[in-house]
Every structure is written in C-alpha cells, then in structure tokens.
Amino acid sequence: MSDVTHVAIIMDGNGRWAKKRGLPRIIGHRQGAESIRAAVKASQNLDIKYLTLYTFSTENWNRPKDEVNTLMNMLEEQLIRETPELHQNDVKMNAIGRLDDLYPNARKALQHSLDLTKNNTGLVLTFCLSYGGRSEIIDAVKQIIEKDRAQKLDLDQVNEEFIAGFLYDPALPAPDLLIRTGAENRERISNFLLWPQEPRLNLIFTLIPISIRIPCSALDIDLIFSCPPSSVLCNPLHTIYNILHTT
C-alpha cells in the first residue's frame, strides 16, 4: 500500500457542470453531495485515516442569497440523512472553520453529528465549513495575541509547532494528497489548508467534477468501491486508488 494517510479534496466544478447543461447550479451541488458517500467508502477500503472535504468556503458566502440558502439547507439534509450510516461504519465526523457563521439549522445538525460520532475510532471525516486558509491563520494569530495579553509569551517558544496548536483542529495532520475536481483552468488550491501542508504535498488536478460518474469496468476497481453487481457507475475519486497504487 502507500504511506498516504490523509487525503484532502477540493470539491469543485459541480455548479459549472450543471450550468453547461442548462440545469440549475444546485443540481450540480446535489450530485456532488451524493458523491461524498463513495469517497468515504473508497477511503475506508484503502485504509486512509483522514479524509478532509472543502465543503463550503468563506468566499461562498458571496454567492447569491438563494444559492447560499439552498446550500445551507442541503448541508442540514445531508447530515441528517448520512450521519446514521457513517456512525454505524465507525466514522468520526469532524468540522473546521468559522462554524458559528453557519445557519442555525445547519449548525444544529452538524453538532448532533459531531456529538454522535465523537467516540468512533475509524476514518476521520472532516468537513471544512465557512472555511478559508487565511481565516484560519488570522484566527490563530488572534488567539496567540489573547494568550500573550493574559500571560506574556516567551518569543523563543513561538515556532511552527506552537502556532499549529492554535489552528482550528491541531490534531488534524497535514494532508499527504490534495485532489481538486473540476479543475479546468483552476489549477490552484483556493485558500485551502494553507498552513497545515507538507512541503512536498502531492497535488492532483482532475477536469472531472465530483458530480460526474464513470464506468467501473473501465477502471477495474469495482471491488474497491464495493459497487453492486448491477452497477456500472463509480465516483471519479478513483484518482485516490490510482495514485496510491502507482507510487
């Protein structure tokens, strides 16, 4: 197998995919949300310990109000629907970002999911919600300033490890592999996990949106995704499989 233990995914391209087909952007978002289940199964089968999904960025708040409302409602719906199965499969759900900015209904559903799965010991599934890499660093600096005001800090103790202790989740390791779906003319990390990155982070940019599915038979990975015999579809996150098995 591989040394990869933490895979992070920028779930992009769903809205543009829908728009190109004359469909409402939200259709693409819903299809993308459905693909999360396949990503979780793939990660579990590959013994990946951490899967982190860039679900809703701080920049997403600038989208049209109706779209933001729908995305918040979708978040609530998905959490309510998917959490029981995730809990049954020993998945520990996690979230980082400015969570207090979420709509109350979504925040309540998220807290329930976090509380229900907090003692699970399997895959750690982290949702980045109202998240931005710059915001994470800014919020960390604010905490450090508050700590210095309360008790004068020794500058000699301020190093990378010290600062990392003030990130949204200090226990979350840096990703080994970052995948961006739907990356046509968007080969960038878009303010995602700017601090907790390894110097030699592997970057994968795929043109396929996360909402598109491709034939399993073409990839010969039916068992990896546990597709039922009648199914000929699998998620494009086969990239995880291909990378781990060719390195």
**Rg (the chain; Cα; Å):** 19
Q: In terms of Cα–Cα distance, which of 114, 41, 32, 113 is closest to 71?
A: 32
Q: Give the span between the Cα atoms of 76 and 98, in whole angstroms.
A: 16
- Distances from the Cα of 225 to the Cα of 60, 93, 209, 231, 233, angstroms: 30, 20, 18, 11, 10
How does pLDDT run across 46-103, given as a tens digit for each residue? 889 999 998 889 999 999 999 899 999 999 999 999 999 999 999 999 999 999 999 9
Higher pLDDT pick, 238 / 174: 174
Is 129 in contact with 97 (CB distance < 8 Å)? yes
pLDDT category of residue 205 using cuts at 50, 70 and 90: very low
Q: Give the span between the Cα atoms of 235 and 247, in whole angstroms.
A: 21
pLDDT category of residue 236 using cuts at 50, 70 and 90: very low
pLDDT category of residue 33 using cuts at 50, 70 and 90: low
Number of C-beta neighbours around residue 8 at 10 A: 25
pLDDT category of residue 138 using cuts at 50, 70 and 90: very high
Q: Give the span between the Cα atoms of 137 and 125, in whole angstroms.
A: 22
Report CA torsion sign: 145, 150, 156, 159.
negative
Is 3 one of the annotated active-site residues of the chain?
no
Q: Read off the pTM.
A: 0.75
| Active-site pick, 45, 60, 191, 202 | 60
- With a cut of 60, say whether residue 190 has pLDDT above it: no
Q: Give the span between the Cα atoms of 126 and 18, in whole angstroms.
A: 26
Domains of the chain (ranges; CATH) run 6-244 (3.40.1180.10)
236: which DSSP letter? T
Q: Give the span between the Cα atoms of 238 and 235, in whole angstroms.
A: 7
Is 60 one of the annotated active-site residues of the chain?
yes
Number of C-beta neighbours around residue 115 at 10 A: 10
